[in-house]
Structure 1
Amino acid sequence: MSTATAAATEPAAPDRDPTWFQRLRNAPSLVRWLAFGTVVGNIVIVLTGAAVRLSASGLGCPTWPKCTDDSYTNTPEFGIHGYIEFGNRLLTFVLSAIVAAAIITVFLQRPRRRSLVWLSLAQFFGIVAQAVVGGITVLTGLNPWTVSAHFLVSMALIYAAYAFWVRTGEGDGPRDWRVTAPLRWVGRGIAVAAGATIVIGTVVTGSGPHSGDGNAPRTGFDPALVSQLHADAVFLLIGLTIGGVLALRGVPAARNAVIALLVVELAQGLIGYVQYFTHLPVGLVAAHVLGASILWAFALHVLFSLRVRNDRLTA
């Protein structure tokens, strides 16, 4: 047998296993999990922020960026309130680590997707903005308007995180609408009404108890009046959502998203009414704050369910 024939009949050498770095450069499933982690992380931060306010620990670290004038960490003199407030600050670093991992992984992907690069970077800049607004909130003695702004920045971050997560499961083809133009406005109207309900809810919070500190100022609005305005916004949102269930019944993905949102709205509304008539017990208020974040995420789910992008990627 000739040398050429022998070479031809010999089995090919097995391919070498890819290195961890090579695997990382082609890991869309990891990017998707990290994106989902940013959604969960932002919601958890909202809940721990509520714990700070509801435990009257808003000034447990009385200054910023340090916890006290002489220390970046909490000190025993501020007791449990210092630990709660400082713990909430530490969770920002946990979220930052998740976002940093997402950014690095997105940049390493081949091919690199510009949409994911920008959405991951939006998380970074959002965290910076959140930290600055949080610092202003502390330095202004928990002014109710800066407290509201602090919460609303979290809602913007949840929006960016949710968009990031959705885009990791899609390709970069053109956007294809599942519904007609008028029905798109139904979904957008639901999202706007959900956002308005949350904004008014922050005014209710700034007008009632649980200010985060016994000496924190209030808005000066009549709590009963702003609570009624908030309830009116909730009724509008529920009405639009029921209309969406009927209008989108021919589009299964969008219809299911609207039905899921309606269930969340009814649960959130029930918690809201019970907490109001039981004089705002801390546990129910915390559940209501968490519910607001979940409701916002489900409203975004409705918005994104109205369209799809072609060239879907598989993880």
Structure 2
Amino acid sequence: MNAIIIEKPGGAEVLQLRTRPKSVPAPHEVLIRVSAAGVNRPDVLMRQGKYAGSGDVSGQVPGLELAGVVEAAGASVRRWQVGDAVCALVAAGGYAEYAVADARHCLPVPAGLTMVQAAALPETVFTVWHNVFQRGALQPGETLLVHGGSSGIGTTAIQLAKGLGSRVAITAGSPAKCEACRELGADWAIDYRAEDFEEVLKLEGVDVILDMIGGAYTAKNLRLLKDDGRLVFINAMQGGQGEFNALEVMRRRLHITGSTLRPRSADFKAALAAEVEKHVWPLLAAGSFRPVIHQTLLLAEASAAHTLMESSAHIGKIVLEVQQ
């Protein structure tokens, strides 16, 4: 099969199309003929050799989410049959013509969605559901602040939060990105290059913050939270260090948490997949949530996709199409 290989840790140019043996599914896995694979910021970190737990990435195939058709199923797999259209969360290997996935980490391609749209779902939706609704415990009527609102994570969080009855504020880096977020339902869209999000929202206050920035945002985030508010980290693009007043956290009973998805156990991801199918798939069926696709590129153009991701010029998801 053809696959994108990380020749060595480095820039986007280290992603190269190569031929390698087709994967063989274990008893609990399915082999998927890949139609499309989502591109995510952890893929960039993996390529750079900076993703926690990735080890030596030389020769590895990146890609955390994909959509395609089941080509073969392991002996213990019961739900999926050859020919089923699925999308799947994988620890790596999505940038390829074929990939194996734990059968429990697969979900049916929702009716009415293309393979490209379906490939944009697993990593993003699993991340948002766990961090906003499980760890952050966002409730109907509460206010969510999402930093990076125009990212794949952000555009998903806006729609899911609005679809389940919450108010949403976002920050983004241009008027065009802010407008795109408003069109998705954001109640406040703050261009962080022109406005201070803390000043804009300090009278409103927020209940949950989904933060991928870290650094100097940390103290501002905590000041914005209402009593019993929850700050959830999923990245720290400005650095992991930030000062805050621990006494204020105690006085207002604030919660600071965060997570990374890839290192979690297979059982955890299986339980999360079941929760996502129960709560998010009905929103897809109802048409109240659709993945936002910024651009599709061919598998062989993976380096260009990473360059686009690193530019932060995109709104929504970047997806690789696989032409068999």
TM-score w.r.t. the length of structure 2 is 0.25
Report which of the two has the higher share of strand. Answer: 2
Report which of the two has the higher share of helix. Answer: 1
